[in-house]
Amino acid sequence: MNGTDLATLEVALAEVAAGTRIAYLGPEVSARSGGPAPATRAELCRRLEAEVRVPRRASGDLWAVAQYIESRKFRATLDAMVRRAFAPAPGAEGAEGTGPRANPLHDWLARLRPPMVVDTWYDDGLLTAFERAGAGWGLVQGVSRAGGWTEAYTRAYGAGGAEVAAPDPDWQTLLYKPQGLARPGSSFLISDSDYVEVLTEIDIQTPIPEEVRRRRTGRPFLFLGCRFDDQLLRIYARQITKRSGAGHVALLPGPLSRMEARFIAELGIRRLDLGLDAVTGRLTAPAG
Residue 91 within any structural domain of the chain: no
Residue 213 within any structural domain of the chain: yes
Residue 29 within any structural domain of the chain: yes
Query: pLDDT tens digits, the chain, 288 residues: what are they?
Result: 578 999 999 999 999 999 999 999 999 999 998 888 999 999 999 999 999 999 999 999 999 999 999 999 999 999 999 999 999 876 555 444 444 468 999 999 999 999 999 999 999 999 999 999 988 999 999 999 875 556 789 999 999 999 999 999 999 999 999 999 999 989 999 999 999 888 888 989 999 999 999 999 999 999 999 999 999 999 999 999 999 999 999 999 999 999 999 999 999 999 999 999 999 888 744 444
Report how far Cα 23 is from the mean position of its chain's Cα atoms: 10
Residue 77 within any structural domain of the chain: no
- The boundaries of the domain holding residue 249 are 3-34+104-280
Contact at 8 Å (CB) between 258 and 206?
no
Residue 43 within any structural domain of the chain: no
Residue 148 within any structural domain of the chain: yes
Cα–Cα distance measured from residue 20 to residue 6, given in angstroms and rounded to the nearest whole number: 19
Closest to 230 (Cα-Cα) out of 202, 267, 257 = 257
Closest to 80 (Cα-Cα) out of 198, 151, 185 = 185
Report how far Cα 279 is from the mean position of its chain's Cα atoms: 18
| Strand segments (E) across the chain | 22-25, 116-119, 137-142, 154-158, 163-164, 173-177, 221-224, 249-251, 270-272
Residue 58 within any structural domain of the chain: no
Residue 196 within any structural domain of the chain: yes
Sort strands 137-142 and 154-158 into parallel, antiparallel or unpaired: antiparallel
Q: What is the count of structural domains for the chain?
A: 1
Sort strands 249-251 and 221-224 into parallel, antiparallel or unpaired: parallel
